[in-house]
Structure formats: C-alpha cells, structure tokens
C-alpha cells in the first residue's frame, strides 16, 4: 500500500487557507496528524478482480460489484452511502459461430467475438463488402454497395485514408451500415495481433437489427487483401440474451457546510465487459473515486458544497447509470444545483486538469500550481476536452460543466487490451493510480470549497455551440441525441 504523504495534506491545507483562511488554519492544526492514511485503491481493486471478476451490468457479478462498492464505502466510515436503482435493457452474449470462405461450400471457421446489443438470434450469410473505415463518406461513393451484404470496416482510421478523415465510434459505424442496408457488420480491431475487442454496437443501448462482430487486426487485414483478390462470403450465427434488469449506482455523499444544495459530482463507472476483469476499464477509475471518498472521510473534510462520489453502472451498455442519474435530477428539479461533474474513466496518473469550458482555467491551474509545489511532475497544462461515450456525456448535454484529469498516461500495451480478454489486474500502474487519487482529491476539494465557481450551467444555445465547435453534431445525430434543428 502507498501512503499519502504530508505534502498532500499540506497542499490541501494551503488550498483551504486560500478560500477559508481563519477557520481552516485552526481546523487543520487540530486534525493534521489524523489526516495521513494508507491509499487503498490498488489493494481493493486487486481484491475485487480476484473475488468478483468482471462486472457486467445485469449479471450476478454486476450485483456483487455494486454491493462490494457499497460495503467498502461504509467500511471507510462514510455515513451517507446509498444505492440509486434504475431499470434498463441489459445484454449478455450467448453463442457465436463465424465462417468465411470463397463460397458457401468452402467456409472455414473464423475467430470472432460478438459486439453487444447484437440480436437475440441471428443466422445470416452474405457477400463481404469492404467499406474501409466504415464512415459515411465510404458509403456515399456508391450508396447501394452494402445493401444485403455483410460490411467489413476498420475500427480506427486506416493509414491510407484521406487527410482529416474523422473516426466514429463502433456503434456509429454500425448505425451507418444499417442505414445503408447491410445485413451484418464485421469490425477489425486496431490493436495488433489477434486481440478481440467487445463493446456495444448500439447507439441507443437497445438491440440492433443486424449481427455485429469483431475480428483480430492481423486476420482482418489479411481478409481485406483476400477480398481484393477474390470475393468472400461470411456466415454469422449467434445467440444472445437481453431483457429488462435493475442495476444500481452507488452514491457516497458529503453534505456541504454552507451551500448543501449545490453539488460537485465525481463519477466513474463501476461496470465492465465480461471478457476479463475490467481492471483498466474502469477499475482504475472507479476504485480511484472510492479512494477519493475515503480520503475525504479520513481527512474529515467539510467543504462548502456537497460532494457526491458516484459509481455508475451500465456505462458500457449505453451510459445507462449516468443517464438515469441525470434523468432523476431533472425530475427532482435538482439539476441546476449540480455545479460540476468530474469523470474518471480509464484515468491514470493525470499530469494536468481538463474542463469542457474555458472559464475555469485559472482556478484549475491555481489548484495545479498548488500540486506542483509538492510534486513537480504535475505539468499543470489546462486542457479543453469535449467528447462523448463516457458518463460525463449526459451531464454535458444538459449544460453542466464537466472535467477531470488530463495528460493521463497508459502504455500502448495496456490500451491494446481495451475491452479485451487481456484487461487484467497485472496492467494496473500502482503509482499512477495513487496519483489519480491524490491529484483528483485536490481538484474535487478545491471546487467544492471555492468561494465562487465561475462556470455556470450552459443554456441550450450554448450547449449547441459547444458541441458544434467540437464536431460532435454528426455522432449525436447518428445516435438520435441531437435535439436541435
């Protein structure tokens, strides 16, 4: 286990002095010696991967993970820990058989994995058509080319692509294939070798109409070459399971001392895919969030605003838990009280902070400068980051400023195991995980205890402008989340 050193505590003290000088100095003089505790993010993540395994939403393992998180937070002494149940459509894989060959009499088994939200049952055979990157421009050259066929597309952007070709999420590439009449889609993993990637192929979190599979990089590139030389046929057979389930977000709340209605939400998704244990995606994020909550408890921090540490379920299957959280906040008319959402999804060893809006740059860099005073490895280069496909998205789409760590680092070999059967605990960087906790606790506390937060909830037009400025209109139209004309 790693120990949070005195410099972390001292920096928290200095930050608090800058915002609430007199009371804070007295507070930390009394409690300073009680503030140093062992970080437990690494050891608890190791334990969870060994005792639970994967954390697929809707599965027995998913339920165990929810209870594990709840029990752990209570064990830390946090009084206000609760479940936030929500209903959603869950999916799990069944059987798969893929065969490819020059004709139906010469088909050979082909290694593949089903992408989530593929149909309950599928049995399709058809000619494979190579659609390059699988983005809309690849179809517009010949709009009928994919009709009634099985599309082959690359998950990333191929090296010989036109300049400035913008990549899309696998679910968006699947939606485009469906739009142009494909009867199935085969996506080639960008990670080298034979690593197979899973993940959702649905932009809505509901079942799609065609089977979607992923094949390895080496085999996929070889298939592309074979198609150039001779047409190929694929036969895809699969069964899967789907149905309405109840899952539970886990929320640990620290009530604000002065502005209890105002909230800082700190989130990370607890769920993972089922091919491995999800140690990186998103064990390092969710267990960092839990250890941040532990740090708050052990330091006896009482910021002016309420802080909610939220472990979301269902992120992998369509941001189900975070969407449910935001929907409930809107229904309860609590949404305007959420001042900021910090999201930790595969965040490791961040060296700067990020935000969706520029108005917090000065404040974030002030916190970063405080960190630099005890750790010069923190670069403190504020980054504007606006993207999709993680739990910040539902908050951002209703105008809540979002942010978190930036300049985080994961080795290429670790990133290659994204959503794959090699995402195991051995990949976890112990020091990087601790730094995520240390630096992010500072950011959270700074926001929660600041006299004023310059960032405001954005208007509908401001949200639209933000999304358009970051080229997000196209993917949001594909997913049906673009609400503007």
Sign, CA dihedral 375-378-381-383, equals negative
Between CA 264 and CA 348, with CA 280 as vertex, the angle to 5 degrees is 55
Q: Is 427 exposed, middle or buried (0-12, 13-18, 19+ CB in 10 A)?
A: buried
φ/ψ of residue 227, rounded to 5: -65, -35
What b/e string do you get for 113-132 counting C-beta neighbours within 10 Å, with b at 16 or more? bbbbbbbeebebebebbbbb
* pLDDT at residue number 349: 96
> Which pLDDT does position 31 carry in this prediction?
32
* 3-class secondary structure, 458: coil
Residues 6+ apart with CB under 8 A from 10: 374
Distance from C-alpha of 81 to C-alpha of 72, rounded to nearest angstrom = 10
Question: Distance (Å, rounded) from C-alpha 194 to C-alpha 112?
Answer: 10
Task: Report residue 56: phi and psi, to 5°.
Answer: -70, 130
H-run or E-run covering 417: none
Which whole-number Å values give the CA distances from 75 to 64, 290, 352, 355, in the listed order?
Answer: 16, 11, 31, 32
402-437 per-position pLDDT tens digit? 999 999 999 999 999 999 999 999 999 999 999 999
The C-alpha atoms of residue 117 and residue 112 are separated, in whole angstroms, by 16
The pLDDT of residue 12 is: 53
As a whole number of angstroms, the distance between CA 367 and CA 350 comes to 13
Give the pairing of strands 402-406 and 338-343.
Answer: parallel
Q: Taking a C-beta distance cutoff of 8 angstroms, is the pair 148, 210 a contact?
A: no
DSSP code for 430: H
Residue 157 Cα distances to 138, 167, 173, 476, angstroms? 12, 6, 12, 20
* Stated pTM of the model: 0.92
Closest by Cα among 49, 46, 36, 40 to 2: 40
Say how many C-beta atoms besides its own lie within 10 A of residue 169's C-beta. 18
What is the rounded CA–CA span in Å between residue 482 and residue 473?
7
Contacts of 140 (CB under 8 A, 6+ apart): none
| Nearest one of 231, 207, 239, 240 to 126, comparing CA atoms | 231
- From first to last of the 485 residues of the chain, give the pLDDT tens digit: 334 444 554 455 455 545 444 333 333 332 333 333 578 999 999 999 999 999 999 999 999 999 999 999 999 999 999 999 999 988 999 999 999 999 989 999 999 999 999 999 999 999 999 999 999 999 999 999 999 999 999 999 999 999 999 999 999 999 999 999 999 999 999 999 999 999 999 999 999 999 999 999 999 999 999 999 999 999 999 999 999 999 999 999 999 999 999 999 999 999 999 999 999 999 999 999 999 999 899 888 889 999 999 999 999 999 999 999 999 999 999 999 999 999 999 999 999 999 999 999 999 998 888 888 878 999 999 999 999 999 999 999 999 999 999 999 999 999 999 999 999 999 999 999 999 998 999 899 989 998 889 899 999 999 999 999 999 999 999 999 999 98
pLDDT score for 1: 34
Q: Whose CA is closest to 424, among 195, 225, 152, 178? A: 195
Query: What is the rounded CA–CA span in Å between residue 199 and residue 113?
Result: 10
Domains and CATH numbers, the chain: 6-80+255-479 (3.40.630.10), 90-234 (3.50.30.30)
Instruction: Name the phi and psi angles at 262, rounded to 5.
Output: -80, 140
Q: Determine the length of the chain.
A: 485
Contact 189, 113 (CB under 8 A): no
Which structure tokens are listed for 409?
């680092």
- pLDDT on residue 312: 99
Q: How far apart are CA 392 and CA 399, in angstroms?
A: 11
Where would I find the beta strands (DSSP E) of 189-324? 212-215, 233-254, 259-269, 305-312
Q: Which contacts (CB < 8 Å, 24+ apart) does range 122-125 have?
A: 122/184, 122/210, 122/211, 122/236, 122/237, 122/238, 123/236, 123/237, 124/150, 124/183, 124/184, 124/210, 124/211, 124/235, 124/236, 125/233, 125/234, 125/235, 125/236
pLDDT in tens, 256-315: 999 999 999 999 999 999 999 999 999 999 999 999 999 899 888 889 999 999 999 999
């Amino acid at each position: 286990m790693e120990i949070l050193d005195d410099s972390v505590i001292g920096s928290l003290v200095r930050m608090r002095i800058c915002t609430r000088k007199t009371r804070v100095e007295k507070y930390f003089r009394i409690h300073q010696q009680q503030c140093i505790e062992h970080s437990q993010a690494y050891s608890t993540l190791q334990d969870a991967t060994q005792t639970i395994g994967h954390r697929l939403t809707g599965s027995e393992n998913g339920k165990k993970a929810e209870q594990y998180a709840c029990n752990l937070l209570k064990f830390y002494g946090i009084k206000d820990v609760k479940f936030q149940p929500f209903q959603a459509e869950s999916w799990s894989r069944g059987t798969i058989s893929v065969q490819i060959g020059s004709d139906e009499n010469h088909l050979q088994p082909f290694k593949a994995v089903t992408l989530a939200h593929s149909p309950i049952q599928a049995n399709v055979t058809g000619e494979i058509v190579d659609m390059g990157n699988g983005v809309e421009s690849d179809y517009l050259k010949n709009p009928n080319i994919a009709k009634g066929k099985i599309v082959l597309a690359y998950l990333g952007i191929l090296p010989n692509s036109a300049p400035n070709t913008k990549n899309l999420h696998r679910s968006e590439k699947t939606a485009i294939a469906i739009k142009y009449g494909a009867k199935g889609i085969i996506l080639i993993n960008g990670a080298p070798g034979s690593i197979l990637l899973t993940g959702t192929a649905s932009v809505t979190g509901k079942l799609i109409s065609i089977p979607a599979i992923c094949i390895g990089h080496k085999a996929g590139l070889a298939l592309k070459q074979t198609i150039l030389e001779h047409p190929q046929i694929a036969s895809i057979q699969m069964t899967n399971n789907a149905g309405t389930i109840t899952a539970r977000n886990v929320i640990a709340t620290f009530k604000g001392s002065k502005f209890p209605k105002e909230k800082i939400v700190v989130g990370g998704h607890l769920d993972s895919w089922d091919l491995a244990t999800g140690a990186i995606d998103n064990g390092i994020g969710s267990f960092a969030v839990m250890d941040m909550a532990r740090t708050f408890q052990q330091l006896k921090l009482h910021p002016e605003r309420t802080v909610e540490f939220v472990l979301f379920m269902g992120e992998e299957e369509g941001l189900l838990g975070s969407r449910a959280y935001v929907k409930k906040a809107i229904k309860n008319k609590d949404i305007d009280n959420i001042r900021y959402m910090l999201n930790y999804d595969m965040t490791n060893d961040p060296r700067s902070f990020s935000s969706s809006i520029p108005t917090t740059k000065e404040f974030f860099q002030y916190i970063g400068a405080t960190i630099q005073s005890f750790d010069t490895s923190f670069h403190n280069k504020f980054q504007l980051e606006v993207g999709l496909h993680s739990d910040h998205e539902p908050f951002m789409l209703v105008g809540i400023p979002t942010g978190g760590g930036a300049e985080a680092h994961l080795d290429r070999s670790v990133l290659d195991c994204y959503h794959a059967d090699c995402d195991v605990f051995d990949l976890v960087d112990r020091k990087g995980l601790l730094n995520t906790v240390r630096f992010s606790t500072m950011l959270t506390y700074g926001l929660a205890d600041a006299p004023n937060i310059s960032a405001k909830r954005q208007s509908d037009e401001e949200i639209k402008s933000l999304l358009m400025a970051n080229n997000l209109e196209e993917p949001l139209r594909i997913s049906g989340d673009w609400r503007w004309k």
